[in-house]
């Protein structure tokens, strides 16, 4: 084993830097050199080569984003582009490639495996937490914390002004952030991609009206996953305003959920998976993702991480649905008692 390469690909996630540190430091102890390519797969093709050494890793774990930079690179789907990447990896005498990223990044890794004979290891780094085969992904816990803190701040002004807010969170195809943010912020309603049937406008409006009758001076928070409602959060807020006669304010949280320092959970997870990735390479593994299931590190074939859906935990969905309407309905019950 001469040299391991590392890339971060797709959307950045808090904890990626901590993962790189664990890979570099673990490999160094085994006498293995580690290099990086900046800007993901594009960096391999364009030869954006960067040596990595433990001396450079001292103060990276607490930093958000990724110092290796990242990029979305749809051109990598092309055979010729993947072949160019394989040639660059061979030119640098790379024996194994570690890809830290999400669904699209792992699809790219599986594509590369058709044209390159080296070992490929995936590490789940995405705030969406939508990769099958792992209970949690690097960046998810921090993104939920960030969303919760933002919603708490919105709640304070909403409560002071007795306002209704529709808060849009990330997760266009997966409702993990939305669900966890809704539970942790005690939201009155949530709209997620996985909900079947989806809440209808009359139902949402009726619930807001009931809450207004029960608690006219209180706030009301709806959590909405991005790109789910036709026209987005602003269209939903406008429609609910017309349907309820109550001004409903749109509040998209946007990329604030990606940024900031990783929390303790993400730092520990990232370093655990980074160390395990080097061990997997030494053991000869390839074309697998290193994940965490029931607190145990596992190896999952790369194609299974994106060929199957990862469901929301039913117990958490039921928890939020069971709690979110109790406040105003319980007051009606008391009045009728």
Q: Which of 103, 128, 145, 266 is catalytic?
A: 128
Q: Is the dihedral angle over the CA atoms 184, 187, 192, 197 positive or is it negative? A: positive
Asked if residue 142 lies in contact with residue 121, where contact means CB atoms within 8 angstroms, the answer is no
Q: How far is CA 177 from each of CA 72, 137, 243, rounded to the nearest angstrom?
A: 21, 12, 27
DSSP character string of 255-311: GGGT-S---HHHHHHHHHHHHHHHHHHHTT--SEEEEEETTEEEEEEHHHHHHS---
Residue 213 CB neighbours (<10 A)? 11
Active site residue 309: no
Question: What is the β-pairing status of strands 220-225 and 164-169?
Answer: parallel
Lateral strand order in the sheet of 164-169: 189-191, 220-225, 164-169, 248-252
β-pair partners for 252: 168
Active-site residue list: 128
């Amino acid at each position: 084993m001469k040299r391991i390469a590392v890339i971060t690909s797709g959307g950045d996630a808090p904890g990626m830097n901590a993962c790189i540190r664990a890979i570099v430091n673990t490999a160094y102890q085994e006498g293995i050199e580690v290099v990086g390519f900046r800007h993901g797969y594009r960096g391999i093709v364009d030869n954006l080569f960067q040596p990595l050494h433990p001396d450079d890793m001292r103060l990276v774990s607490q930093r958000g984003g990724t110092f290796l930079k990242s990029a979305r690179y749809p051109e990598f789907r092309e055979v010729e582009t993947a072949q160019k990447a394989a040639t660059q990896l061979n030119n640098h005498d790379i024996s194994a490639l570690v890809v830290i990223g999400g669904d699209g990044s792992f699809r790219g890794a599986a594509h590369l495996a058709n044209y390159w004979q080296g070992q490929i290891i995936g590490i789940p780094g995405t705030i969406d937490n939508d990769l099958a085969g792992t209970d949690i992904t690097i960046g998810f816990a921090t993104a939920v914390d960030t969303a919760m803190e933002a919603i708490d701040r919105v709640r304070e002004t909403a409560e002071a002004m007795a306002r209704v807010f529709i808060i849009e969170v990330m997760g266009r195809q997966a409702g993990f952030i939305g669900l966890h943010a809704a539970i942790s912020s005690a939201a009155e309603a949530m709209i997620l991609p996985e909900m079947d049937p989806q809440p209808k406008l009359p139902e949402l409006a009726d619930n807001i009206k009931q809450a207004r009758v029960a608690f006219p001076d209180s706030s009301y928070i709806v959590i909405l996953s991005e790109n789910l409602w036709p026209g987005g959060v602003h269209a939903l807020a406008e429609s609910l305003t017309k349907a309820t006669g109550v001004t409903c304010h749109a509040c998209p949280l946007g990329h604030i959920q990606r940024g900031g320092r990783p929390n303790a959970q993400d730092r520990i997870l990232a370093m655990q998976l980074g160390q395990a990735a080097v061990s997997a390479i030494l053991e000869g593994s390839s074309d697998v993702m290193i994940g965490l299931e029931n607190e145990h590190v596992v190896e999952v074939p790369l194609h299974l991480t994106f060929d199957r859906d990862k469901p929301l935990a039913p117990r958490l969905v039921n928890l939020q649905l069971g709690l979110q309407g109790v406040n105003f309905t319980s007051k009606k019950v008391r009045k009728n008692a």
